[in-house]
Each structure stands twice: as C-alpha cells, then as structure tokens.
Amino acid sequence: MQNSLKDIPQIVGDVYRKESRPVFAALIRLLGDLDLAEDAMHDAFKVALEQWGEKGVPSNPRAWLVSTGRFKAIDRIRRESKFDPLQIQHIEQIEAKTADPSGQVDKKIEDDVLRLIFTCCHPALSLDARTALTLREVCDLTTEAVASAFLVTPSTMAQRIVRAKTKIREEKIPFEVPPEHELPDRIAAVLQVVYLVFNEGYYASSGESATRIDLSSEAIRLGYLLHALLPDPEVAGLLSLMLLHESRRPARTSSSGDLILLDDQDRSLWDRNMIAEGLSLVEQAFFSKRAGAYTFQAAIAALHAEAKHPDATDWKQIAGLYSLLLRIHPSPVIELNRAVAIAMHKGPEAGLQQIDAILGRGELNNYHLAHAARAELCRKIGRIDDARASWQRALSLAQQAPERRFIKRKLSELNA
C-alpha cells in the first residue's frame, strides 16, 4: 500500500526511533565493523525516504532496512576497494554469511542487540569508554549529549569514542555474547555501565537540573532489554532498583526545580505502578539465593517505597541490609548510607560517630553528601557551629545548581 509522500518523513522517522538500534546491531553482525554498519544503516534509511513513498512501506521494515543496508555496504566497499584483495575478501565474507539476511533478522535481532551491549561494555575498554560507547551506539544519544553527560567538549568525546572503536577493531574484540563460563564477570561490567547511566540521569552530577530523564529512561530501557534476554537475578535486581528510584521522580523537585528530600516528598505523587513492578522484581531476585549488590540496594529502596509516611520507614531493617551489602560490596559510600540509617534508627549521635570515623580515615573528604549528612546530624544535636562548617564544606564541593540552592537555604536557616 502506497503512502502519501508528505507522510513518508514522519513514517521513516517513527521507524528510525523504533528500529535503528536493532537494525544497526544486525548490520554489525553481518558486516563485522561498527563504522561500516553505522554508514550502512544511514544509507538504508536514506533509501527508505526515497522509495517508500513510491513503492509503499514494506511489511517488515526492519528486515528491509537490514537487507538494504547490507547491499549498500557491499556497494560502498566495492567502490572504495580499488581491487584490494583484502577488501574483495571482506565482500566475499559478507556475502557468504547469507545471500538474503532478511529472513533471519527477526529471529536473531534480540541476540544482535545483546551482542552490541556486550561489545560496548567489553572489559578491554576503560569504564569511561564503555559508558560513552554504550550511550552513543546502544542508546543512540548524540555525541554532544554524551559529552554533556561527561562534562567534556563534543570534540573530546568524539575522540574518545573513535579510540574505543579503534580498539575494538584492532584487538578484534568479538561481536558476541560471551560463553557461559565468562558471563558472570561480563554481565557485571554491563550492569555497572547501565547503573552509571541511570545514576547520572537520576541524580545529575552537575548542571542546572537535579535530574536528566533522558539518561535514566535509557538505562531503564536497557534494564528491560537485559531482563528479557538474560535470566539473571542481578539483572532483575538492578531493574527493580532503577524502577523504585524512578517512581519518586515526580516528587523529588518542586515546580521551580528545587530539591525535595525524601521525608518531605508528597508520596501521593509516587508512581505506584512502577513501585509494584519494582517490588515484584526484587522479591524474585532476593529469593533466588543468588542476590547481589543491586538486589540488596533494591530491597532497601523497596522498604522506602512501602512506607506510607516517613515515620513508618523500617530504619532498623534498612541499616541491617546496608550491613549485609557492605560484606559483599565494601564501599565508603555504602558505609555512609548505613550511618544515616543508624542515625534514623538509634539517634543522630550514633550516626554522627560513624560518619566522623569515615571522614577521619580520609575517605569521602571530597564527597559533598558526606559533609551534608554530617551537617544535618550536627544540627539535630545542637552543634550549630559544626553544622555550619559542614554545610559550607558541602557547598564548596557541590556542582549541581539545585543542590547548591538547597545547601544555601540550610545555611540561611542556621544563621536565622
């Protein structure tokens, strides 16, 4: 069925938003090169703009785009090869994989996307490179958007992404889901990247906004994809953790963009459907007998989500879960969170003693949230000068505009 020519740009745009990453992943499998696959994908969408108005939208746009992109790539290599034997061999290898890939696209596509994620998150790449490449190639964020997330210039980020792709090509990093015996270590690297992307979206490290919904939404989308493809408890645990945190987004900031702390949030604004899904996932993961760090964090988030008001929060159980989490994932930040939970359960003096011990070891001295937590506990026990000094230290370290406004309000309240 033919479509009106004026509708074609919108139709192709809709297909691009839905299918570009699966098409790209399939072309990587067929062509064996990230850059060649990206060029082929864009060539295919250009042909779609030219042909679909006249010939109609194909019944399977994804398969059509993969097949068209593959042929375009072969034409490109032939034009540029100048009878280079290696390039001719490359063409033969592409053609040998399948004469017509369209029939295999739907069957293989989910595996292709998963292969792309594991390739972008390969441990041979640095963590920054993994995260940047995942945002660019899996999430399809622009280089400018990725650069903004990393607080670097677009040219710096473009060079970083190029170096990562070069390393994949030169070290022949395979485009594959790792074998079963490597999967536990490799899935940990993938989940780490997804979690980093989500954290930057949920609690932006700097800038004018407290959150970045584009990043947290992409992380959750990746979480759903991984959960559908990999029956791993920690995948379920991470997805649960992200959903439970994201459910609170509408209540975390005021209409003017100012921060609202957990105890002061309007809990009627929390997304109950998201909470229900997160609770179901964490229950499955927690009772799998293979619960890991993400699952323990999700269980803590679940206790917050289940509390109908702040006073109903089970801080004793939260402190206990943080103690268990510390055993499997030692971290001064987790220790700080446990100290806050202890303060809520046993009183501010007990929590303050823990925080002072962390800072006394020289850990978290440059972490503004540690000084903010100390300031609030000092205020509660009447140590106003100490509270003021800690708030001032937190202000000197905070990079996010809403956080800085919040800390300045706290200092003004102390002075008043």
Give tens-digit pLDDT for 330-385. Answer: 999 999 999 999 999 999 999 999 999 999 998 899 899 999 999 999 999 999 99
Q: Say what the pLDDT of residue 142 is.
A: 82
| pLDDT exceeds 60 at position 95 | no
Taking alpha carbons only, the member of 257, 259, 149 closest to residue 196 is 149
What integer is the mean pLDDT of 21-31? 87
Residues in the chain: 416
| Residue 128, both tokens | 């920054």
Taking alpha carbons only, the member of 75, 95, 122, 79 closest to residue 30 is 95
When pLDDT is cut at 50, 70 and 90, the band that residue 214 belongs to is: confident
Give tens-digit pLDDT for 138-162. Answer: 877 788 878 876 767 889 989 999 9
| pLDDT exceeds 70 at position 85 | no
When pLDDT is cut at 50, 70 and 90, the band that residue 105 belongs to is: very low
When pLDDT is cut at 50, 70 and 90, the band that residue 212 belongs to is: confident
- What number of other Cβ atoms are within 10 A of residue 409's Cβ? 13
**Residue 218 and residue 141 in contact, taking contact as beta carbons nearer than 8 Å:** yes
Q: What is the pTM of this model?
A: 0.74
| pLDDT exceeds 90 at position 389 | yes
Token pair 């990393």: residue: 150
What integer is the mean pLDDT of 292-314? 95
**Residue 191 and residue 123 in contact, taking contact as beta carbons nearer than 8 Å:** no
SS3 207: strand
Q: Say what the pLDDT of residue 401 is.
A: 86
What integer is the mean pLDDT of 189-209? 77
Taking alpha carbons only, the member of 241, 229, 234, 196 closest to residue 215 is 196
Distance CA 415, CA 394 (A): 16
Better-scored residue on pLDDT, 64 or 87: 64
Give tens-digit pLDDT for 255-279. Answer: 888 888 899 999 999 999 999 999 9
Contacts 24+ apart (CB under 8 A), 183-192: 185/123, 186/118, 186/121, 186/123, 187/230, 187/232, 187/234, 187/235, 188/234, 189/121, 189/122, 189/123, 189/130, 190/117, 190/118, 190/121, 190/226, 191/226, 191/234, 191/235, 191/238, 191/294, 192/121, 192/127
Highest mean pLDDT among 57-71, 82-96, 213-227: 57-71
SS3 259: strand
Weakest mean pLDDT among 27-31, 119-123, 227-231, 404-408 = 227-231
* One-letter identity of residue 387: A
